[in-house]
Amino acid sequence: MDLDSRRPHLSGPARCVGCQHKWSAVAPIGEVALTCPSCGADKGGRMAMVVPKEAVWTCNCGNVFMLVRVDGMVVCANCGISKHEGTYCE
């Protein structure tokens, strides 16, 4: 594969939700459905979150992993403080 024609790209672990095959995938940034090299289905996905830094909420405790409750409230997975008016934690 010519990587220069597929830049910018990301590489890392991927898994097929169809056949559960795991592999190391290389794909352009923004490509969501990955073709599984085992079964050929477009059911592969990255096994880790890939999010641009400018799109991430960061809690004052330093955590970037948030949970969304059933009622839609966004809370910090580390300290449990909810997002309120653009800030986290006291």
List per-residue pLDDT tens for the chain, 90 residues long: 665 665 677 788 899 999 999 999 888 877 878 999 999 999 998 887 666 666 667 888 888 778 888 888 888 888 888 865 455 444
- 29 & 64 share domain: no
Task: Tell me how far apart the alpha carbons of residues 63 and 79 are, in angstroms, rounded to a whole number.
Answer: 8
Number of domains in the chain: 2
Say which residues have a Cβ less than 8 Å from residue 82's Cβ, sequence separation at least 6: 73, 74, 75, 76, 88
Domain of residue 57 covers 52-90
Whole-model pTM: value is 0.51
Q: Are residues 42 and 66 in the same domain?
A: no
Token pair 């459905």: residue: 33
Q: Which of 54, 85, 61 is nearest to 74 (CA)?
A: 85
Residues 58 and 76 in one domain: yes
Q: Are 56 and 87 within one domain?
A: yes
Residue 31 CB-density burial (10 A; 0-12 exposed, 13-18 middle, 19+ buried): middle
Residue 84's pLDDT is what? 58
56 with 88, same domain: the answer is yes
